[in-house]
Amino acid sequence: MRICLILFTIMILQLISGGILADTIQIEFTENDSYSVEVARINVGDTIKWLPKNEGHNVEFLAGPEMASLPKKSKIDEVYSVVFNVPGVYLYQCTPHGNTGMLGLIIVNNDFHNIEKVKKIQLSTVAKSVLARLIRIARSS
Ligand SMILES: [Cu+2]
């Protein structure tokens, strides 16, 4: 009887953490060739939804905790949603504007285990300095 109660409680807790309390964060493409949220801190199970409020942008993942299975690249000007189920640091860019620093960072579960790999991604000089700034923000918040 007690075991049943414990299992039931665990099930309920999993439901709450995995579903009901999962958040959706919205990030807009801005007219300044940037993302409205440059550093997003989320939890496993949360969704990020990118909204094309300004034309000519997309989302292309450059790094994540599982390099072999990064989310697919979105089409220019499309609404795009990704659910994040693996803790770690994700780096993405806008394909046309990555070189000029249109980058975004996502930290899932405050887990920085793959940050060194993220730092090693080939980027333009401008994008490199933007990434350094985003990492500073991520570390300090
Ligand atoms: Cu862009």
**By C-alpha distance, which of 92, 88, 124 is closest to 109?**
88
pLDDT value for 5: 75
pLDDT value for 10: 60
Query: How does the average pLDDT of the chain come out, rounded?
Result: 92
Question: Rounded CA gap, 1 and 36, in Å?
Answer: 51
From the CA atom positions of the chain, what is the Rg in Å?
17
- What's the CA-to-centroid distance between 128 and ligand 1, angstroms? 16
72 residue type, one letter: K
Span 111-121, pLDDT tens digits: 999 999 999 99
125 residue type, one letter: T
CA-based max dimension of the chain: 63
16-20, 45-49, 97-101: segment of lowest average pLDDT: 16-20
- Other CB atoms within 10 A of residue 113 CB: 10
- What's the CA-to-centroid distance between 96 and ligand 1, angstroms? 5
- What's the CA-to-centroid distance between 100 and ligand 1, angstroms? 9
pLDDT value for 17: 56
Spell out the domains of the chain, with CATH numbers in brackets: 22-140 (2.60.40.420)
Quick one: average pLDDT of 12-39? 84
- What's the CA-to-centroid distance between 105 and ligand 1, angstroms? 15
CA 64, 68, 69, 70 torsion-angle sign: positive
- What's the CA-to-centroid distance between 58 and ligand 1, angstroms? 6
Element (H, E) at 6: helix 2-15
pLDDT value for 19: 54
pLDDT of residue 98 exceeding 80: yes
pLDDT of residue 18 exceeding 60: no
Tell me which residues have their CB within 5 A of the ion that is ligand 1. Answer: 57, 94, 97, 102
Question: Rounded CA gap, 37 and 134, in Å?
Answer: 11
